[in-house]
Amino acid sequence: MNVAVSPAERSLSWRRMLLVAVLCLLAPRAFAQSLAPASLADQRAQAVTQVVLGILSYARWPVEPAQLRLCIIGPTQYTDDLVKGTTQATGRPVVVQRLLADHPDIVNACDAVYIGKLTADERGRLFASLIGHPVLSISEGGDQCTVGSLFCLRVADDQVSFEVNLDSVARSGVRIHPSVLQLSRRRAPAP
């Protein structure tokens, strides 16, 4: 059976085929681009978790807690992996909870605090409440190392590093192993 097909219908059929072929070629690339940011964010969150756990493993409190209580204070970018809770290499569990900056009993509820974005006033009140108590503080942004945090994270696409505020460490009551202090002096390799 022969069916007559007009040149216009044949042209339309070829256009459809060409469009389908182009879409098939471009779809994986578009799909991969939409997944890349989430994957990069996950990688950063995992890297931050490893650095935070590393810092905590080299800290010693006057009375070692059986389980380490880490409190996340303020909005953060990189704690998605951390909030799941974990266990340190020593077997000590790390219990993670979110608290408001003005929580009245932070010093009794937390052995360590991970600080996100806070106003200057909230940050000032938080650090005032920590004075004289052995609470390790880690700030997500690097600018807080001059204002009271013991450790300040520097998060880049390919690595997480940190700075140490030696004055805050000396006043905190938490002892930090010298190896961690040496690590903070290492600079990222130049691109």
- What are residue 70's phi and psi, to 5 degrees? -105, 125
The total of other beta-carbon atoms located within 10 Å of residue 135's CB is: 25
pLDDT at 143: 64
> CA-CA distances (angstroms) from residue 186 to 51, 57, 137, 168?
14, 19, 20, 20
> CA-CA distances (angstroms) from residue 54 to 84, 88, 141, 180?
16, 9, 18, 9
Task: Please state, in angstroms and rounded to a whole number, the distance separating the CA atoms of residues 170 and 166.
Answer: 6
pLDDT at 83: 87
Q: If we measure between CA atoms, which residue out of 67, 124, 57, 63 comes closest to residue 97?
A: 67
167 phi-psi bin (left φ>0, alpha ψ -120 to 50, beta other): alpha
pLDDT at 142: 61
pLDDT tens, residue order, the chain (191 aa): 555 555 555 554 444 443 343 344 444 444 444 444 468 888 888 999 999 999 999 999 999 999 999 999 999 999 988 888 788 878 899 999 999 999 999 999 999 999 999 999 999 999 999 999 999 999 997 666 767 899 999 988 778 889 999 889 988 999 999 888 777 665 544 44
pLDDT at 182: 75
Full set of structural domains in the chain with CATH = 44-185 (3.40.50)
Rg (Cα) of the chain, in Å, rounded? 25
- Own/partner contacts of 124-131, CB < 8 Å, gap of 24 or more, are 125/101, 126/73, 126/101, 130/106, 130/172, 131/171
DSSP state of 13: H
DSSP state of 142: G
pLDDT at 191: 42
Report the 3 state secondary structure along 66-88: CCEEEEEECCCCCCCCHHHCEEC
Q: What is the pTM of this model?
A: 0.75
